[in-house]
Chain A
């Protein structure tokens, strides 16, 4: 496979983003159809190339792409390149296929939005950044992609930025993930500092020509406590991105973004980037036992912790958000036990069925105008397609055979089961409890949404549906209807994948595991006992949900009394938001630290006078700003920057530099 073709995987969506942002939106207006055509076309190209890359890796196993030196200072040489191995190929296919389907679906979902082209600009930009992250053969380039997906996530969560809740959610997501990234950055710095002095540090992940690269030699080169700390830093970054405890609080709020965004970024791809990162650096984790144990425990704890909150949410997207956090926990659990294959297999399956569930919830919202399940009900009659695919997605998530979720969850349960010891036992119990809760919350959601009687949709907004988003007309609320084909077809394709994506790792062939073999994955045989326990837990969960929300054998209100303290704890999300915002931000930072600092500034007079003077200045300034704000200033800066970019580009294009 020529190198240019691999670069084109990244470049095509990037070109679409630039094209949309700089040409289509200014010249053809913010709702032009061309934005959709360009994005889907570009991601289609990436998807085709990704399939090609997968087939090449499948047959060849070894694809060595060159590294290009872009900066050299004395010994230090920064060489940028792409890495194509089994892990990358899998991620490429997941990202491009889900992205492609979501883009198509979005056309139906976002058609009435006034910022249609802006939406596609960001989505294309995100896809390009995510592919950069996945393909990078250099930690620095990887970090660039890592931060760019964070930026795109911020922009898309806050897509409807006129809503205060969306703006706040975007800010929260940005700050919390950035908190994790801080430790990731420290880990990168740690690698730089602790790297053996006799070999230059290149940050290349895999470089056959270098004496030492990160993945082959990193574990041996960096040893002891330093390596553990580096691994923990990487895990902290991953935990922020993948919303693992205790950095999970941003993901449920991130549901303020458009639903296709939630499906693509906050279910299938970006949040899986943390799993990808740890999987990528598994050779380092191999040498750091403590760090691996911590990864496993965080994952295992998050599985149950997040699933329990999913049990009580009334907002369908929040249920799915907690579900995502919980499922990502499974993947970390597996990685912590060194099981690359099962973790990636679950990532692969989860991407499809979770994207499906999210798109299903978007379809429901399209019909009813709300995400509040208390206002839904009975939709299976008016939305048979959506009901069908949602049902398939739920079965897959609940781990019912033969749907794909069963196979990968079974592998993870099997790993924990055979790992043994205290750690293995704890993790197995957590995983089984998680499986039970997963089945319970998703079927509760299914029943509340699609069964029973229709409870009025957005018309009853008095109940306080803060999550009904404004771009959908209220007229949808009155009479729910099936979504248009442009939305149903992507869901149907995902439904097929949710049933059958496990065929790639069919027990007899193990194609998927073969792909990852060079990275140290080995075939996991099916173990009857843990699989059976997991299945029973899942069926039990479905049973309880049926009893409470469908069959009427036990009515939900009748048990809510005795369980009130528990449900209260769960609906308040274990008071984590209160802990972060109330205790840490308000009490510690604001009331203690800032007051403490203000104490040094006891002379109020000085401050007041300064403020007054500034006020006078400000009044004059205001006259100026009013004029500045008409865009001339931005225009000046735009011209200045474009000028500089054109000059550099001219050198690269005609001067043959670079």
Chain B
């Protein structure tokens, strides 16, 4: 007689997945409403509402301090994951707010698809953050990848189609490589649940079975290829510039922060849990991550200098930013308990501040772009006279990306570099600081253009007047500044989140 299956035995817990469930329902609603709605602007507001509700659910998870596993151990709920969900949702909300003007102008045939896919991609990323099982991680990854591919291709011109195809093919390869790594990991440990792996690995190491094991190294490296692709770290970054150039601008802004945050979350989850908790020091993976960090920062910053297209410039910028964040990940594996918390909260804080800064920049770019824009930096000339708000927001955002006070990423960088020094990785801090100097050169070039007079002062484009766009710019601006002046609230939340993630 088959055992009756009930919700409790499977560990089904709708509460733990409330944000994802709400957002999925919102996505379905948006697509359905698209069929009947005459005024498509309502879709943006519906999506924003859905994201806000999901955010409310995430806040509820946070305040009720929900933790533990559900769905037979597949879903892990902890403050760390919830914090990342909030970052993802925040980024999504800002992206949705600055979308309507752009969608109206460039994607007028695809309102429902645009917002529906955006929400589904977000669902994938939120799942990615909380998955505790390798196969589910791949599934979550694929959910967001496919949604992103469609979003990138939505412009339906040559460049957009090309970049979508590239993204599709390259992420397929990256996922396949990662799956291979997972298969090896499964072969070594006999489980796909990452929570079980430290025990098995530690046991094997104690037996002497896994010491010096090339297969484990191979698994770790193949996983790094997959995750490195997601977070756009060198040398897995080649897809970034063409995709940034070809995709719709709001989508670029969206996945430059949200997808990266989710990628970092899953990277940390898998690496910290599997490799660090098992006490496996043969791999010295912090060193490897450190090397990738330096490569990303240096290559990203140096190549950004020669860019003339603002979207490509931001693409290389995002590669460099991934490098800064990787410093924190390297430190996590390199020090004692207090350094570990310092580094983890540093990564969280940096990602939050980066979300505001980068989205502020993209929002301002949308506001400043002309109808037939070719996204060159030249075009920004005299931007101040066209849209003062956008010019201010872009300036502050770029200053933040350089890492100058009084902005969020200034604090974030100090935070990460301080952690690196504490964690005996002072050379990483040094490399990061040097790179910040270099980056000032190219980040401040568009700023100079903005405040130069001249240039066609003609169209104060209608996009700049869009209420939701202005709102999103203002919110990001405030976020950047607040995190720069009074970062303490977020720091203590980030510390709580990293405490929940400490082994």
Q: Tell me how far the C-beta of B57 lies from the nearest C-beta in chain A, rounded to whole angstroms.
A: 37
Q: How far is the CA of A578 from the CA of B161 in the complex (A)?
A: 45
Q: Which of A108-141 contact B (CB under 8 A)?
A: none
Contacting pair B235 A642 (CB below 8 A): yes
Complex interface: chain A residues within 8 A of B213 (CB): 72, 657
Residues of chain B contacted by A70 (CB below 8 angstroms) = 214-215
Contacts of B161 in A (CB 8 A): 620-621, 623-624
Does the CB pair B225–A640 fall under 8 Å? yes
Q: A635-B238, A639-B238, A640-B229 are in contact. Are A647 and B187 (CB under 8 A)?
A: no
**Interchain CB contact under 8 A, B165 and A624:** yes
Residues of A within 8 A of B234 (CB): 643
Contacts of A642 in B (CB 8 A): 235
Interface residues of A in 607-638 (CB under 8 A from B): 620-621, 623-628, 632-633, 635-637
Q: Is the CB of A657 within 8 A of B282?
A: yes
Contact yes or no, A643 B235, CB < 8 A: yes
B53 within 8 A of A: no
Q: Classify chain B: how many residues form its interface, as a range.
A: 35 or more
With both beta carbons as reference points, the residue of chain A lying nearest to B242 in the complex is identified as A632
Residues of B within 8 A of A621 (CB): 161, 165
Contact at B215–A628, with CB atoms within 8 Å? no
Closest to B188 in A: A73
- What A residues does B190 contact at CB under 8 A? 73-74
B212 within 8 A of A: yes
Residues of A within 8 A of B224 (CB): 644, 647
CA distance A71 to B159 in the complex (A): 45
Contact with A along B232-245 (1 / 0, CB 8 A): 00111011001000
Across the interface, do B162 and A623 meet the contact criterion of CB distance under 8 Å? yes
Interface string of B257-284 (1 = CB under 8 A from A): 0000000000000000000000000111
Q: Are B212 and A657 in contact (CB under 8 A)?
A: yes
Interface residues of B in 210-232 (CB under 8 A from A): 212-215, 217-218, 221-222, 224-225, 229
Q: Which of B161, B169, B239 has the most CB of A within 10 A?
A: B161
Is A628 touching B165 in the complex (CB atoms < 8 A)? yes
A-binding segment of B170-178, B363-371, B390-398, B400-408: B170-178
Q: Is the CB of A643 within 8 A of B236?
A: yes
Chain A min CB distance to B176 (Å): 11
Q: Which residues of B contact A637 (CB under 8 A)?
A: 170, 173
**In the complex the two chains form, what is the Cα distance from A625 to B159 in whole Å?**
10
B window 149-181: CB within 8 A of A: 156-159, 161-166, 169-170, 173-174, 177
Q: When A640-B174, A658-B212 are in contact, do A624 and B158 touch as well, CB less than 8 Å?
A: yes
Residues of B within 8 A of A644 (CB): 177, 221-222, 224-225
- Interface segment, A239-247, A428-436, A648-656? A648-656
Closest A residue, CB atoms, query B236: A640
Docked-complex contact A652 and B225, CB < 8 angstroms: no
Instruction: Report chain A residues within 8 Å CB of B174.
Output: 640
Q: How far is the CA of A621 from the CA of B282 in the complex (A)?
A: 47
Chain A residues with CB below 8 A from B165, complex form? 621, 624-625, 628
Chain B residues with Cβ under 8 A from A643's Cβ?
225, 234-236
Neighbouring A residues of B162 by C-beta, 8 Å: 623-625, 627-628
Once the chains are docked, how many angstroms separate the CA of A626 from the CA of B169?
Answer: 15
Q: Which residues of B contact A74 (CB under 8 A)?
A: 190
How close is B439's CB to chain A, nearest CB, in angstroms?
22
Cβ–Cβ < 8 Å partners of A624 in chain B:
158, 161-165
* Nearest-Cβ distance from residue B134 to partner chain A, whole angstroms: 17
CB distance from A107 to the nearest CB of B (A): 38
Check if B288 is an interface residue, CB within 8 A of chain A: yes
| Residues B235 and A640 in contact, CB atoms below 8 Å apart | yes
* Given A621-B161, A627-B158: A636 and B239 interface contact (C-beta under 8 Å): yes
Residues of chain A within 8 A (CB-CB) of B222 are 644
Please, which residues of chain A bring their CB within 8 A of the CB of B225? 640, 643-644
- CB neighbours of A635 from chain B (8 A): 238
Chain B residues near A639 (CB-CB < 8 A): 235, 238
B456 in contact (CB, < 8 A) = no
Contact B158 A623, beta carbon cutoff 8 Å: yes
Size of the A side of the interface (Cβ < 8 Å), in residues, is 32
The answer to the question of B454 belonging to the interface, with a C-beta cut-off of 8 Å to chain A, is: no
Q: Which listed residue, B169, B177, B215, touches A71 by the CB 8 Å rule? A: B215
Chain B residues touching A, majority SS? helix
Residues of B within 8 A of A648 (CB): 217-218, 221
Minimum distance in angstroms from A425 CB to a CB of chain B: 53
Closest Cβ–Cβ distance, residue A554 to chain B (whole Å): 65
Is B221 touching A633 in the complex (CB atoms < 8 A)?
no
Tell me, in angstroms, the Cα distance from A623 to B156 when the chains sit together.
10
Contact with B along A66-87 (1 / 0, CB 8 A): 0000111110000000000000
Distance (Å) between the CB of A649 and the closest chain B CB? 10
Within 8 A of B (CB), among A179-212: none
Q: Is B56 located at the chain interface by the 8 A CB criterion?
A: no
A657 and B158 in contact, given A639-B235, A643-B235 (Cβ under 8 angstroms): no
Complex CA distance for A217 and B159, rounded to whole angstroms: 63
Q: Determine how close the nearest CB of chain A comes to the CB of B199; give it in whole angstroms.
A: 15
Q: Which residues of A138-153 are within 8 A (CB) of B?
A: none
Q: Is the CB of A72 within 8 A of B284?
A: no
Question: Looking at the complex, which one of B173, B209, B215, B283 makes contact with A640 (CB distance below 8 Å)?
Answer: B173
Say whether B217 contacts A628, CB under 8 Å.
no
Please give the distance in Å from A70's CB to the nearest CB on chain B: 6
List, in ascending order, chain B residues with CB within 8 A of A72's CB. 209, 213
Contact of B187 (CB < 8 Å), options: A73, A632, A636: A73
Given A73-B188, A621-B165, A639-B238, A647:B212 Cβ within 8 A: no
Known: A73-B188, A643-B225. A636 touches B170 (CB 8 A): yes
Cα(A195)–Cα(B417), bound, Å: 57
Shortest C-beta distance, A560 to chain B (Å), equals 58
Q: When the two chains form their complex, are residues A657 and B235 in contact, meaning their CB atoms are under 8 A apart? A: no
**Alpha-carbon separation in the docked complex, A652 to B169 (Å):** 30
Could you tell me the distance between the alpha carbons of A636 and B157 in the complex, rounded to whole angstroms? 22
Q: Considering residues A628, A632, A636, A652, which has the most beta carbons from chain B within 10 angstroms of its beta carbon?
A: A636
| Shortest Cβ distance from residue A532 to the other chain B in the assembled complex, whole angstroms | 60
How many angstroms between the C-alpha atoms of A646 and B221 in the bound complex?
10
Q: Which of B357-385 contact A (CB under 8 A)?
A: none
Report how far A657 CA is from B221 CA in the complex, Å: 13
Closest Cβ of chain A to B31, distance in Å, is: 19
Residues of A within 8 A of B215 (CB): 70-71
The docked-state distance in angstroms from the alpha carbon of A637 to that of B288 is: 21
- Report the minimal beta-carbon distance from A625 to chain B, rounded to whole angstroms: 7
Q: Which residues of A contact B156 (CB under 8 A)?
A: 620
CB pair B214–A658 under 8 Å, yes or no, is yes
Is A657 a contact partner of B214 (Cβ separation < 8 A)? yes
1/0 per residue, CB under 8 A from B, across A319-334: the answer is: 0000000000000000
Partner of B214, one of A627, A633, A652: A652
- Which has the most chain B C-beta neighbours within 10 Å: A637, A644, A652? A644
Residues of B within 8 A of A640 (CB): 170, 173-174, 177, 225, 229, 235-236, 238
Q: Closest approach, in angstroms, between the C-beta of A245 and any C-beta of chain B? A: 39
Cα A73 to Cα B185 in complex, Å, equals 11
A295–B227 alpha-carbon span in the complex (Å): 52
Give chain B residues whose Cβ lies under 8 Å from the Cβ of A646: 235
CA of A623 to CA of B160, assembled, Å:
10
Q: Cα distance A636–B171 when bound, in Å?
A: 11
A633 to B171, CA, bound (A): 12
Q: How far is the CA of A412 from the CA of B159 in the complex (A)?
A: 69
17 contacts between A and B (CB under 8 A): A73-B190, A623-B157, A623-B162, A625-B162, A626-B158, A627-B162, A628-B169, A640-B174, A640-B225, A640-B229, A643-B235, A643-B236, A648-B218, A651-B283, A655-B217, A655-B283, A657-B217
Known A73-B188, A643-B225; 18 more pairs at CB < 8 Å: A71-B187, A623-B162, A624-B161, A626-B158, A627-B159, A633-B166, A636-B170, A637-B173, A639-B238, A640-B173, A640-B236, A642-B235, A644-B177, A648-B218, A651-B221, A652-B217, A655-B283, A657-B212
- By Cβ-Cβ distance, the 4 closest A-B pairs, closest first, are A643-B235, A636-B238, A624-B162, A624-B161
